[in-house]
Amino acid sequence: MSDNAMRLPKDKELIPRALIRAMVFLIFATVGLVAYAKWTDQPLAGQPPGGEIVAERMIAVDVKPRGAATVYDEGGVLIREFAEGEAGFMDSIFRAVAYERKKSGASADGPVSIARLDTGRHILVDPNTGWTMQLIGYGAKNVEPFVQLLADM
């Protein structure tokens, strides 16, 4: 194949100018809307509604390879053991807790709190950093171990 066969005609544009202009407009419009919201102190509409804590339990978790975990109460008493494959999501959550603790310079040790709110939602709170995670949107199967730990009180 010759070099001429691989070249596009000069009158053909790979990306139409109208599309490029629309993308630039979209970028500026997005930045403008965010700037307006920040300058006018608009409320954070995407935040889930808060609630009062109706049940709470402090736990410490020893995560093991391949989705196994051992859960203790704050006094060190064994609460539950999860077999391989049962606590894979829990492993992810506690890696996030460890990351937040390292990022904030807090102690890597210590329990976390699982709580149920009056709205029916479940949250995980790290008292060492004040970090909170809403246990919502991860699927019932993933959140179930946390719900069970709170129900076993």
The residues that bridge with 125 in the sheet, in sequence order, are 113, 132
In this structure, what are the phi and psi dihedrals at residue 2, rounded to the nearest 5 degrees?
A: -85, 165
pLDDT at 47: 73
Query: Any idea which residue has 């920040």 for tokens?
Result: 38
pLDDT at 1: 52
Tell me the average pLDDT of the chain: 84
pLDDT at 32: 97
User: What are the structure tokens assigned to 153, written together?
Assistant: 């009180």
Question: Integer distance in angstroms from the first to the last C-alpha of the chain?
Answer: 75
Question: From the centroid of its chain, how far is CA 109?
Answer: 21
The residues that bridge with 57 in the sheet, in sequence order, are 114
Half-sphere exposure of 119 (CA within 13 A, CB side): 11
Query: Any idea which residue has 């950093």 for tokens?
Result: 129
Pairing of strands 53-64, 131-134: unpaired
pLDDT at 33: 95
Q: How confident is the model over 20-63, as pLDDT tens digits?
A: 999 999 999 999 999 999 999 988 777 777 788 898 999 888 87
pLDDT at 114: 92
Positions of the chain with pLDDT under 70: 1-11, 153
User: What are the structure tokens assigned to 11, written together?
Assistant: 């009158």
Nearest to 120 by CA among 136, 132, 103, 104: 136
